Structure 1
Amino acid sequence: MTDVQLGMPQLPAPDYSAEVRARLAADAKEIIARYPDSRSALLPMLHLVQSEEGHVSRTGMRFCAETLELTTAEVAAVVTFYTMYRRRPSGDYQVGVCTNTLCAVMGGDAIYDDLKDYLGVGDQETTEDGKVTLEHIECNAACDFAPVVMVNWEFFDNQTPESARRLVDDLRAGRPVEPTRGAPLCDYKQTARILAGFPDERPGAVAATGGAGHASLIGLRLAKGEGATPRVVAPRDSGAGSAPEDAPQPGSQHLSSHDAPQPTSDSDPGHPAGPVTEEGE
């Protein structure tokens, strides 16, 4: 049990050295100047202190509270709410495997389970060399490239257990690693400083873009009416082979795939939905 659970007083958090505190205070002043209300600067301030230690320590929370004139409880409430803030020391590289629906069915679960065994760590645990922290993450809006692995929030698309093993091997060995798309990779402390709103000084980072995937671009073209004309399926109550007068005609442009439902048991008159009978079994 912790000291708090036992009702014992906690030891005061150690303070930053004078040099570190002066540097952070100067950066904090710049961050606060971006907002009309100083308390609005809390999120980037937490990224700032995370860039110093690699996680948000009690010292970092106290610094934020004192600088923004908040209570430590208010700061702690925010830190514990957002998963991008680490509350304990972690690795130079945060390796996140997406295990949300599409990535999971495309192999994300297999990648995550394989990396746990390969690295000998569990969720949000760090390898003994301090290089890699493994975690499962929710959707990162990159479903076109499933399954996706992220390292310090940079994309590594279309992964397999084998490619993910090579990736973590390279990270631990210090070999150059290039994301599939987007900005060059940097360590977690550098990433945190960028998230705090300071200039990204990585070569080529400003020009780098993620880019939409093939499936998303097809959907965009269809939405603009640039794709092939979808087939119109007759409503169930109009009889097979017929269509209502206001149905889109061949050659017309459709703004949504809902204009052309596919032949399923619910939408195809020739295959009506219904309970399975003994005769049909």
Structure 2
Amino acid sequence: MTTPSQQPSPTPKPGRDPAERTHAAAGEDVDVMAISPVREEGMLTDEPPAETFGADVVAQAREIIARYPQSRSALLPMLHLVQSVEGYVSQEGVAFCAEQLGLSEAEVSAVVTFYTMYKRKPCGEHLVSVCTNTLCAALGGDAIYRQLAEHLGEDGKPLGHEETAGTPGEPGSITLEHAECLAACDFAPVLQVNYEYYDNQTPEKAVELVDSLRRGEKPAPTRGAPLSDFKSVERQLAGFFPEDDDQFRIDVDGPSQAVETLRGAQLAAERGWTAPAMAEDVPLPEVEAK
């Protein structure tokens, strides 16, 4: 039972008094866009938003799924496909993978957040990964990362891990990240651009490299395939390559070894070193029962 003081007011008022409706209608002179905390182009139109994953992407997803006996095994390349479209894995991308593979969004999110190769924020045209693991760090990797962070930052603030200089996805934009071991200790310190190697780096060489990228140039990697852009590499990681054999070879082939890489094997051959033969039928040690 309400008292006279608790009679509903036409519009909400501060306090616990009830109201006839839960919102106050805006007058004709109210600028809805100006007071909205979210401003997106087209938010006041009746047109549906553009579909991020159209029929062509769905067809490519089906092609990936067909490679595996169980559809859930296709999740990793599917996430690379999503990144080739969006430049990162959005919540919409998570939902797309879940729908295509018959998984829950939680299952997909668990994989996305486990692997550092899947990004949760839009990436730049180029992803620059600086190895800061033990050997690279000791030989200058930390100094390289620090120099790039300061060089790519703005207003005296260094660029942070997985932050982007420029507008994500636009030409010349660069996302910088710390990277764990890049498996190139023989060329330390190293960095990668879109997963292609640039070996034996110095802070000065690294700055020159990112400046070239920002100008729209694509300096040749030290070894490996020619440099492309982040989205194109993600498409390759999803398993899609040019049908033309010559272009395919250009895109994926490249020398991946050097004198430093082969030196250990050469020394072993010159000195007759061999690995000890493994004994056959060696019994496993006893393990105490739990």
Does TM-score exceed 0.5, indicating one fold?
A: yes
Structure 2 match to 1:127: 165
Q: When the two structures are superposed, what TM-score results if normalisation uses the length of structure 2?
A: 0.70
- Structure 1 Cα separation of the partners of residues 214 and 70 of structure 2: 42
1:95-244 aligned within 5 A? 95-120=128-153, 121-130=159-168, 131-199=173-241, 201=247, 204-211=250-257, 213-224=258-269, 226-227=270-271
- Structure 2 Cα separation of the partners of residues 116 and 206 of structure 1: 30
Q: What CA deviation, in whole Å up to 9, does each residue of 1:221-248 have, x standing for no partner?
A: 2333x14xxxxxxxxxxxxxxxxxxxxx
Residue 61 of structure 1 pairs with residue 112 of structure 2:
no
- Structure 1 Cα separation of the partners of residues 151 and 177 of structure 2: 14
Cα distance, 1:53–1:19 mapped onto 2, change above 3 Å: closer
- Structure 1 Cα separation of the partners of residues 194 and 260 of structure 2: 25
**AA in 1 matched with 2:238:** A
- Structure 1 Cα separation of the partners of residues 131 and 51 of structure 2: 41
Structure 1 match to 2:107: 74
- Structure 1 Cα separation of the partners of residues 49 and 167 of structure 2: 25
Q: What CA deviation, in whole Å up to 9, does each residue of 1:17-56 have, x standing for no partner?
A: 4584211110011101100000000000000011101000
**AA in 2 matched with 1:74:** E
- Structure 2 Cα separation of the partners of residues 175 and 25 of structure 1: 33
- Structure 2 Cα separation of the partners of residues 207 and 72 of structure 1: 36
Return the offset for 1:135. 0.6
Q: Verify the 8 A CA contact 1:150 1:156 in the aligned structure 2.
A: yes
Q: Verify the 8 A CA contact 2:124 2:166 in the aligned structure 1.
A: no
Aligned Cα root-mean-square deviation (Å): 2.0
Structure 1 match to 2:274: 255
Q: Verify the 8 A CA contact 1:144 1:214 in the aligned structure 2.
A: no
Return the offset for 1:142. 1.0
- Structure 2 Cα separation of the partners of residues 147 and 16 of structure 1: 45
- Structure 2 Cα separation of the partners of residues 65 and 179 of structure 1: 36
Return the offset for 1:102. 1.3
Structure 1 match to 2:4: none
**AA in 2 matched with 1:158:** N
Q: When the two structures are superposed, what TM-score results if normalisation uses the length of structure 1?
A: 0.72
Q: Verify the 8 A CA contact 2:83 2:231 in the aligned structure 1.
A: yes
Q: What CA deviation, in whole Å up to 9, does each residue of 1:169-223 have, x standing for no partner?
A: 0111112321111101111111110000111556712432312x32331211233
Q: What 5-or-longer segments of structure 1 have no aligned partner?
A: 1-14, 228-252, 257-281
- Structure 1 Cα separation of the partners of residues 249 and 211 of structure 2: 24
Q: Percent identity?
A: 56
Q: What 5-or-longer segments of structure 2 have no aligned partner?
A: 1-47, 154-158, 276-290
Q: Verify the 8 A CA contact 2:136 2:190 in the aligned structure 1.
A: yes
